[in-house]
Amino acid sequence: MKKILITGGAGFIGSHVVRRFVKKYPEYKIFNLDALTYAGNLENLSDIKNEPNHRFVKGDITDQKFIEGLFNEYDFNGVVHLAAESHVDRSITNPMEFIMTNIVGTVNLLNAARNCWKENFEGKRFYHISTDEVYGSLGDEGFFTETTPYDPQSPYSASKASSDHLVRAYHNTYKLPVVLSNCSNNYGPNQFPEKLIPLIIHNIENNKPLPVYGKGLNIRDWLYVEDHAAAIDLIFHKGADGETYNIGGNNEWRNIDIVKKICSVMDQKLNRETGTSEKLITYVKDRAGHDMRYAINATKIKNELGWEPSLQFEEGIEKTVDWYLANKEWLQNVTSGDYQKYYEKMYRDR
Ligand code: NAD
Ligand code: TYD
């Protein structure tokens, strides 16, 4: 039996990865390690919580002793590392949490793997999940490839860039068997409503203003989360040692267009007159240092591993809206309490 440690498995992308691994690989034992910060939610995993090959472990990757102990106890065969602070706006308000979790936490995991595996790396793999934001910001043209120089612009992307460099340094220096991927913006079920798409869905439902930063002209390349989970599965099992793979949706949208698209889907789903939701659009103060455009060239993963996005955006956004409308209790639970305080603080001065 293979023992796989997945970190951040109670979060948005992590929960889809854990579900996929638990269901597809009954012969694996999946250890799902998560600190359950505001972004982690065991409700994301309610359908698989009793599966015999899934074990949830509450713990913090910044706790070096705890992480060492966990590796010594279970001697994992592989690590899929997703745990992170992931929201750019929060990184602008509080960078230190990003330094601690994204950098120090990653180094704790690298050290624990290295010490536990004791140079006997046969059959072992450390997979680090990262973001396209490490490459910085594009103008109107061009795409990020795996060889684009790093140029992170926010505390979030700088912390992720730093962790990527450290993972590669452990491969180069200690021969730790690693693989990395850098993915574009994800959307889909279970995303915390601080991120654009679920925030807009939530606000439309509640007839609240739809905050669009600046002029709404910034561009993101959106990928359905289950397609990211499929790519992660493929890279973990088939990716070449020491390599990096870019993952993207080939699906660029200006923010204002995506907000209008969600408005139109929501009007239909809520039986509201066409144009009702668009009236809620409110332009607000821009994000500090707001990256203009992200776009991925995903040729390498297509040519080498045969991965492509399976879902068109039309289908993906409908599925996403349907999920949020069918899971009002989930949304209610995650937006009660601290979320209100966060929202008021983040949007008060905009
Ligand atoms: P998320 O914020 O939804 O989830 C992060 C999870 O990590 C949460 O469950 C949280 O409880 C856990 N966590 C945070 N700090 C921790 C700590 N110190 N110890 C243990 N667990 C901790 O994030 P997400 O959107 O699912 O992103 C997952 C990973 O994918 C991140 O590494 C992120 O950088 C990367 N990524 C995200 C996107 C995206 O669009 N969301 C795109 C590309 C890459
Ligand atoms: P976000 O979902 O935070 O992802 P990221 O910053 O990692 O790309 O934001 C996506 C885009 O939407 C980004 O250009 C910022 C913008 N945005 C808004 O216009 N309004 C909002 O309320 C939020 C959260 C984001």
Question: 83 in ligand 1 pocket by Cβ < 6 Å?
Answer: yes
The confidence score (pLDDT) of residue 118 equals: 87
Asked if 281 and 345 touch (Cβ cutoff 8 Å), the reply is: no
Question: What's the per-residue H, E or C state across the chain?
Answer: CEEEEEECCCCHHHHHHHHHHHHHCCCEEEEEEECCCCCCCHHHHHHHCCCCCEEEEECCCCCHHHHHHHHHHHCCCEEEECCCCCCHHHHHHCHHHHHHHHHHHHHHHHHHHHHHHCCCCCCCEEEEEEEHHHHCCECCCCCECCCCCCCCCCHHHHHHHHHHHHHHHHHHHHCCCEEEEEECEEECCCCCCCCHHHHHHHHHHCCCCEEEECCCCCEEEEEEHHHHHHHHHHHHHHCCCCCEEEECCCCEEEHHHHHHHHHHHHHHHCCCCCCCHHHHEEEECCCCCCCCECCECCHHHHHHHCCCCCCCHHHHHHHHHHHHHHCHHHHHHHHCCHHHHHHHHHHHCC
Asked if 223 and 260 touch (Cβ cutoff 8 Å), the reply is: no
- Residue bearing the CA closest to ligand 2, atom 20: 212
Q: Pick the atom of ligand 2 nearest to 86's CA.
A: 7
What tokens does 26 get? 């009954």
- Residue bearing the CA closest to ligand 1, atom 42: 185
> Computed from CA positions of residues 222, 225, 226, 232, in that sequence, does the dihedral angle turn out positive or negative?
positive
**Which residues lie closer than 8 Å to 52 by C-beta, 6 or more apart?**
none
What tokens does 312 get? 């068109």
- Residue bearing the CA closest to ligand 1, atom 36: 131
Give the closest ligand to the alpha carbon of residue 127: 1
Question: 195 in ligand 2 pocket by Cβ < 6 Å?
Answer: yes
- 247 vs 308: CA distance, rounded Å: 9
Question: 13 in ligand 1 pocket by Cβ < 6 Å?
Answer: yes
CATH topology of domain 3-187+222-247: Rossmann fold (3.40.50)
**Which residues lie closer than 8 Å to 219 by C-beta, 6 or more apart?**
252, 253, 254, 255, 292, 293, 294, 295
- Residue bearing the CA closest to ligand 1, atom 32: 82
Question: 105 in ligand 1 pocket by Cβ < 6 Å?
Answer: yes
What is the Cα 286 distance to its own chain's centre? 23
- Give the other-Cβ count within 10 Å of 146's Cβ: 18
Question: 255 in ligand 2 pocket by Cβ < 6 Å?
Answer: yes
What tokens does 259 get? 């907000």
Question: 194 in ligand 1 pocket by Cβ < 6 Å?
Answer: no
Q: Pick from 271, 294, 8: which is nearest to 139 by CA?
A: 294
The confidence score (pLDDT) of residue 43 equals: 95
Q: Pick the atom of ligand 2 nearest to 133's CA.
A: 7
- Residue bearing the CA closest to ligand 1, atom 14: 84
How would you write the pLDDT of the chain (350 residues) with one tens digit per residue? Answer: 799 999 999 999 999 999 999 999 999 999 999 999 999 999 999 999 899 999 999 999 999 999 999 999 999 999 999 999 999 999 999 999 999 999 999 999 999 999 999 879 999 999 999 999 999 999 999 999 999 999 999 999 999 999 999 999 999 999 999 999 999 999 999 999 999 999 999 999 999 999 999 999 999 999 999 999 999 999 999 999 999 999 999 999 999 999 999 999 999 999 999 999 999 999 999 999 999 999 999 999 999 999 999 999 999 999 999 999 999 999 999 998 889 999 999 998 88
**CA–centroid distance, residue 73 to ligand 1 (Å):** 25
The confidence score (pLDDT) of residue 311 equals: 95
The confidence score (pLDDT) of residue 1 equals: 78
What tokens does 258 get? 């995506």
The confidence score (pLDDT) of residue 337 equals: 82
The confidence score (pLDDT) of residue 3 equals: 98
Question: 11 in ligand 1 pocket by Cβ < 6 Å?
Answer: yes
> Computed from CA positions of residues 145, 233, 82, 74, in that sequence, does the dihedral angle turn out positive or negative?
negative
Asked if 31 and 57 touch (Cβ cutoff 8 Å), the reply is: yes
**CA–centroid distance, residue 228 to ligand 1 (Å):** 13
What tokens does 317 get? 């956004």
Question: Active-site positions?
Answer: 132-133, 156
